[in-house]
Structure 1
Amino acid sequence: MSVKTIIMQNFSKSFQLIFSRSLITSAIRTAVKSNKKKNQHTIVIVPPTHNDYNDVLKFMKKEYIPNEPTCKSLGITSCSILMDRILLNLSQGYSLIAKCKNTGNIMGVAINEKTSPWDADLVDKIAHSVQCPNLRKVLRFYAFLERAPNIFDKYKVHEVFEIANLGVAENSQNLGIATRLVKESKNIAASKGFSILRVDATSFYTARICEKLNMESILEIPYDSYLDADRQPVFKVPKPHTGVKVYIMKLGAKK
């Protein structure tokens, strides 16, 4: 057998192997896309009812708060003050949940609220009253963050629609749930007459969704720039989360 024949045979075998791997990779990608599309049809985005509130709180305790970068940085897993804040926002009637049609399980949440110019002062008062030092730090940061963009004066509005908490269950990631929640929240905001939709993206992944939806970034606060009284960073957050970005979307009529 000639050297040329051996080379051609080896090339043929290599090509067949590469081609087979390519077919397998393509089949896997097609299956993933098909499964994702199928899962999207089994997920419904709905306003939570009073019967859902306990499940929403359980979701926030298990899936959201322990993984939210600022809370995770300071070891905050849950507390009554944060739960009360979530319940208060739920009672406003603007929030949404993503539910599985088959099981009824909550797969994602958008805790939405109407914010006013004096809300930051109220959060500061709550922070002053709490005993837990780390919770106090988080609440003070939230109050600072609420004021920092000066949205009410800048855009001449009295109320803003804010997606205060956006979260998806760990086992339901990469199904487009968070994006759907933001889109539906935008529709609610517009239908209720709000002119500004706001998202404070404390997570890299939330910021990525806001960018994808062409929201406008109006402020960025790197985590290592927010310092305590000793000039030390309050938050030590691992990558890819490097800071908070405040996004807005202009919707129309002023409120």
Structure 2
Amino acid sequence: TGKMGDKVYKLVTVTEKDTKDVIAFLRKFFFHDEPLNICVGLLDEPGSTCQELEDYCANSIKEGLSLMAVTPANEIAGVCINGAKRRENEEISAMTDEVNACKNLKFKKILNLLTTVNIQSDIFGKFPNITSLVEVRVLSVDDAYRGKGIAKACINKTKEMAKEQGYDLIKLDCTSHFSALAVASLGGYNCVYKLNYSDYLDEDGKPIFVPEPPHSCVKTYVCGL
């Protein structure tokens, strides 16, 4: 339980029955706020949604590792979508197949970037002794509750949960300057990979993503458990 000003929130595991509420929350905040989503104009049409991103979140929720911060009024104040990766399942071909199968061209750009980051950061290659990790895939806080430490609390709780369940490492790919700052400030996390958006180019040599400052790169942070 954490304090939110004078309000108290509790962190609870997201179950499959919460999926609809969590997706509605993400639709309201994350889908519109995340720098890459804004860059590609993921939800430019009023009332539009991205089914692929919703499916990505819903599938991760099924793993039972995701968390949400809930207020006393039973409203969601923050969401942390997590998933596990195991060395034996880390197939590059499966990752690229998923990207190629994506019908939504805007979301496909984002998936492509995340896959590139995954392959180049090569966490299982860098840490030969680990067999499994938990990754924080989506982290989003309600505008009204920002700056109250909810994101950090979610990351800390995820780390604790991953350790209890026997995972070796926690990993976060931070596409936003603010999420990278939050992780760096926790202590104990190492930045093991960085990709500048200005270096991630299309076939014509132009940057695929040109986010608003201060967002300039993706950083991958890890912490051993």
TM-score when scaled to structure 2? 0.90
Q: Is 1:66 the equivalent of 2:32?
A: yes
Q: 1:82 aligns with which of 32, 53, 60?
A: 53
CA contact (8 A) 2:131 2:168 kept: no
For 1:191, give the aligned amino acid.
E
Give 1:119 deviation, angstroms.
Answer: 5.4
What are the within-5 Å matches in structure 2 for residues 1-255 of structure 1? Answer: 36-39=4-7, 42-77=8-43, 78-101=49-72, 103-117=73-87, 118=90, 120-156=92-128, 157-214=130-187, 215-251=189-225
Name which structure has the greater RCO, CA cutoff 8 Å, separation 6+.
2
Please give the alpha-carbon distance, in whole angstroms, between the structure 1 residues aligned to 2:58 and 2:204.
35
Gap runs ≥5 in structure 1? 1-34
In 2, Cα distance between the equivalents of 1:72 and 1:115? 27
* Maintained 8 Å contact 1:107/1:172: yes
Give the total of aligned pairs: 214
Can you give the 5+ residue segments of structure 2 that lack an aligned partner in the other structure? Answer: 44-48
Q: Which residue of 2 aligns with 1:19?
A: none
Residue 18 of structure 1 corresponds to none
CA distance in 1, matches of 2:67, 2:91: 22
Question: Greater share of strand residues, 1 or 2?
Answer: 2
2:15/2:61 contact within 8 Å kept: no
- The structural deviation recorded for 1:205 is 1.0
Matches of 1:83 and 1:245, distance apart in 2: 23
Alpha-carbon distance in structure 2 between the residues aligned to 1:129 and 1:245: 26
* Contact map agreement 2:15 2:64 (CA 8 A) in 1: no
Describe the shift of the 1:132–1:202 C-alpha distance in structure 2 as closer, same or farther (beyond 3 A).
same
Q: Which amino acid aligns with 2:161?
A: I
Give the TM-score taking structure 1 as reference length.
0.80
Query: Quick one: percent identity of the two aligned structures?
Result: 25
Distance (Å, rounded) in 2 between the aligned partners of 1:142 and 1:45: 27
The structure where helix makes up a greater share of residues is 1
- After superposition, give the CA deviation of every residue in 1:142-179 in whole Å (9 maximum; x if it has no partner): 11111111111211223211011111011111111101
| Residues 61-85 of structure 1 deviation map (CA, whole Å, 9 limit, x = unaligned) | 1111211111110011331111111
Cα distance, 1:228 vs structure 2: 0.8
Q: Structure 2 vs 1, CA of residues 108 and 241 (structure 1 numbering), >3 Å: closer, same or farther?
A: same
Runs of 4+ in structure 1 over 3 Å off: none
User: Which of these two proteins has the greater Rg computed from alpha carbons?
Assistant: 1
